[in-house]
C-alpha cells in the first residue's frame, strides 16, 4: 500500500485542495501535518464550492478519517466555525471522521494580535502574512510555552501554561505599546472552548500506526508551498513551518518510511500572494490576463495574487529540496488562447547565467528571468478528462515543463471541478 504526500511546489494556491479531494477517493485517512488556517483549499464538486482552511480536504467524502496532526497550529475557535460552516453545507463533522492530535499547539487570540501588531508596525517591510497568528504560535511552540490541545483537559495545567506564556507575551506587548493580556478572560475562553474541542482529541500517532498496519492508505495534505518553507523558501517572506514533504513524518508521528510518493502540486504559471521576491513576476497585460483567467484572488484574505509565467528554475529547485517524485500540473486551461507562452528557464545574475535561485536576499532581488517562448493553442483544454483531448501544443508545453523541471507529470488538472482531472501515473501505485 502506498502512502502519498501532497505538497505545494510553488508559493501556495497551486490547487492542493482539489487534488487531495480527488485522490482521497482512494485513500482511507487524510492528514494535515503543518500550517494552520492560513491555508485556503478550494474544492468544487458538481458546481458546489467548499473552502477549507484547517479541516483536511478529505472531510467532504464519507467513510474517511481526517486527521489534524501535531505539526499544525490550531485555532480552536476558527476550527469550530469551520466545522459549523461545512456542516451547513451538508458535510457532517464528528469525532468519527475528525481526529485532532492531542499534542497540537493552539493559536490563541494573543497570537493573532501579535501577528497584526507586528505587520502594522513593520509598514513597508511587512511580510504580508494572513494575519492569523501562525508565526507567533509557532514561535511559542519552539519556545516551549504553547498551550496544547491536551492541556485543555486540566485547569491546573492550563494555569501553569498561562504563567509561562503570559510572562513572555506581556513583556513583548509592553515593548510594542499594547495592553497586557486579560488573563481571567483568556482562561474563561479556554475553559469554555475545551469541551467542544476535546471530543475530537486523541493520540493521532497511534491511530495512524494502526491504520498503517492494517494496510490502509494514508494521504498527507500539505499547506502553503515549498517557496514559503521556513528553511528553503524566500526567507523572511515565508510562513513559519516546513511546508515540504519531510514535515509529513514529524507533523503526524509517522516515520519517514511511511511516505511512498511525494506529489508536488504545480500551477502551469506562477502566482504569489503577500510580499517577497518573485523573479518572473509580470506587470503587463499578460500578467493581468493570467490573474483574470485564473481568478487569482486569495481564498483566505481575498488579496489579489501576483502573477507570472511558469518559472521552471524554481520548480526544479523545489522538486529537489522537497523530494518530489511526480507533479500534478494544474490550471493548464488558464493558458488557453494565449498566442505565445513563455517559460522562465534560467536567471541572469550580474551578467552570468544561473540555474537556481540564490539564497542571499540582495541576489534574489537582482536575478532577471531568461525566457523561452513556446507557441500557444487556440483550442480549449478546459474540462479535458483524457490526454487525447489535449491540443498538440498543450502537450508540447507539458512535455517541456517536465523536461525543464526534471520531474514527470503524474496528473493534469483542467478545471476547478473534481473530475476534470487526467491521471497519467497513479501515485498510490508507485
Residues that bind ligand GDP (CB under 6 A): 8, 12-18, 40-42, 44, 299, 330-331, 333-334, 413-416
Among 7, 9, 13, 413, binds Mg ion (CB under 5 A): 13
Nearest to 220 by CA among 240, 231, 204: 204
Query: Count of CB atoms within 10 A of residue 340's CB?
Result: 9
The smaller minimum CB distance to ligand IMO, of residues 111 and 342, is found at 111
Cis preceding-peptide flag for 236 (omega within 30 of 0): yes
Query: What values do phi and psi take at 373, rounded to 5?
Result: -105, 135
Stretch 109-148: interaction string toward ligand IMO, x if CB under 6 A: ------------------xxxx-x-xx-------------
Residues 204, 67 contacting (CB under 8 angstroms) = yes
Q: How many angstroms separate the CA atoms of 358 and 366, rounded?
A: 10
Answer yes or no whether residue 274 interacts with ligand IMO by CB under 6 A.
yes
Of 8-16, 255-263, 318-326, 361-369, the segment contacting ligand IMO by CB under 6 A is 8-16
Q: How many angstroms separate the CA atoms of 216 and 268, rounded?
A: 32
The smaller minimum CB distance to ligand GDP, of residues 148 and 293, is found at 293
Among 8, 15, 35, 40, binds Mg ion (CB under 5 A): 40
The smaller minimum CB distance to ligand GDP, of residues 197 and 401, is found at 401
Nearest to 27 by CA among 55, 54, 66: 66
Nearest to 160 by CA among 150, 149, 173, 145: 145
Beta carbon of residue 158, minimum distance to ligand IMO (angstroms, whole number): 26
Beta carbon of residue 409, minimum distance to ligand GDP (angstroms, whole number): 13
The partner in contact with residue 134, picked from ligand GDP, Mg ion, ligand IMO, none with C-beta cut-offs of 5 to 8 angstroms by kind, is ligand IMO
Residues 295, 282 contacting (CB under 8 angstroms) = no
Q: Does 156 participate in catalysis according to the annotation? A: no
Write out the binding residues for Mg ion, residues 288-317 only, by CB under 5 A. Answer: 299
Q: Does 115 participate in catalysis according to the annotation? A: no
- Tell me which DSSP letter residue 416 carries: S
- The angle formed by the CA atoms of residues 368, 373 and 377, to the nearest 5 degrees, is 140
The smaller minimum CB distance to ligand IMO, of residues 129 and 318, is found at 129
Stretch 331-370: interaction string toward ligand IMO, x if CB under 6 A: ----------------------------------------
Q: How many angstroms separate the CA atoms of 129 and 214, rounded?
A: 40
The smaller minimum CB distance to ligand GDP, of residues 40 and 369, is found at 40
Three-class SS of residue 67?
Answer: strand
| Residue linked to cell 517536465 | 402
3-state helix, strand, coil in the chain (%, to 5): 40, 20, 40
The partner in contact with residue 364, picked from ligand IMO, Mg ion, ligand GDP, none with C-beta cut-offs of 5 to 8 angstroms by kind, is none
The smaller minimum CB distance to ligand GDP, of residues 12 and 76, is found at 12
Residues 101, 70 contacting (CB under 8 angstroms) = yes
Beta carbon of residue 132, minimum distance to ligand IMO (angstroms, whole number): 5
Beta carbon of residue 180, minimum distance to ligand IMO (angstroms, whole number): 24
Q: Give the rounded distance of the alpha carbon of 210 from its chain centre.
A: 26
Q: Which of 21, 28, 41, 75 is catalytic?
A: 41
Positions annotated as catalytic residues are 13, 41
Report the interface residues with ligand IMO, using CB under 6 A: 8, 11-13, 38-41, 127-130, 132, 134-135, 223-225, 228, 239-240, 273-274, 299
Contact set with Mg ion (CB under 5 A): 13, 40, 299
Amino acid at each position: 500500500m502506498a502512502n502519498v504526500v501532497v505538497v505545494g511546489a510553488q508559493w501556495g494556491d497551486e490547487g492542493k485542495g482539489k487534488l487531495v479531494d480527488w485522490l482521497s477517493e482512494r485513500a482511507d485517512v487524510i492528514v494535515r501535518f503543518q500550517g494552520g488556517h492560513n491555508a485556503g483549499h478550494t474544492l468544487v464538486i458538481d458546481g458546489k464550492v467548499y473552502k477549507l482552511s484547517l479541516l483536511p480536504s478529505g472531510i467532504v467524502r464519507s467513510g474517511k478519517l481526517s486527521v489534524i496532526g501535531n505539526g499544525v497550529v490550531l485555532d480552536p475557535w476558527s476550527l469550530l466555525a469551520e466545522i459549523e460552516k461545512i456542516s451547513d453545507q451538508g458535510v457532517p463533522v464528528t469525532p468519527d471522521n475528525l481526529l485532532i492530535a492531542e499534542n497540537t499547539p493552539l493559536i490563541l487570540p494573543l497570537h493573532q494580535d501579535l501577528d497584526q501588531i507586528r505587520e502594522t508596525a513593520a509598514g513597508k517591510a511587512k511580510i504580508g502574512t494572513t494575519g492569523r497568528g501562525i508565526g507567533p504560535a509557532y514561535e511559542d511552540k519552539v519556545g516551549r510555552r504553547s498551550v496544547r490541545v491536551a492541556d485543555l483537559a486540566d485547569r491546573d495545567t492550563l494555569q501553569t501554561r498561562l504563567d509561562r506564556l503570559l510572562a513572555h507575551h506581556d513583556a513583548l506587548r509592553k515593548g510594542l505599546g499594547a495592553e497586557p493580556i486579560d488573563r481571567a478572560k483568556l482562561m474563561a475562553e479556554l475553559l469554555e472552548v475545551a469541551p467542544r474541542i476535546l471530543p475530537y482529541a486523541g493520540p493521532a500517532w497511534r491511530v495512524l500506526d494502526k491504520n498503517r498496519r492494517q494496510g490502509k492508505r494514508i494521504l498527507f495534505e500539505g499547506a502553503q508551498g515549498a517557496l514559503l518553507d521556513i528553511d528553503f523558501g524566500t526567507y523572511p517572506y515565508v510562513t513559519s513551518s516546513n511546508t515540504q514533504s519531510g514535515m509529513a513524518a514529524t507533523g503526524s508521528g509517522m516515520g519517514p518510511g511511511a511516505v511512498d510518493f511525494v506529489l508536488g502540486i504545480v500551477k502551469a504559471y506562477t502566482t504569489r500572494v503577500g510580499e517577497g521576491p518573485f523573479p518572473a513576476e509580470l506587470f503587463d497585460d499578460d500578467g493581468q490576463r493570467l490573474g483574470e483567467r485564473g481568478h487569482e484572488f486569495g481564498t483566505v484574505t481575498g488579496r489579489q495574487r501576483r502573477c507570472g509565467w511558469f518559472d521552471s528554475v524554481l520548480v526544479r529547485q523545489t522538486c529537489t529540496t522537497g523530494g518530489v517524485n511526480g507533479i500534478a500540473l494544474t490550471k493548464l486551461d488558464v493558458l488557453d488562447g494565449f498566442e505565445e507562452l513563455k517559460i522562465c528557464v534560467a536567471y541572469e545574475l550580474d551578467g552570468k547565467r544561473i540555474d537556481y535561485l540564490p539564497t542571499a536576499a540582495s541576489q534574489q532581488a537582482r536575478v532577471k528571468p531568461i525566457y523561452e517562448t513556446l507557441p500557444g493553442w487556440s483550442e480549449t483544454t478546459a474540462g479535458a478528462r483524457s490526454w487525447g483531448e489535449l491540443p498538440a501544443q498543450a502537450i508540447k508545453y507539458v512535455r517541456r515543463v517536465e523536461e525543464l523541471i526534471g520531474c514527470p507529470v503524474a496528473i493534469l488538472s483542467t478545471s476547478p471541478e473534481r473530475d476534470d482531472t487526467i491521471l497519467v501515473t497513479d501515485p498510490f501505485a508507485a
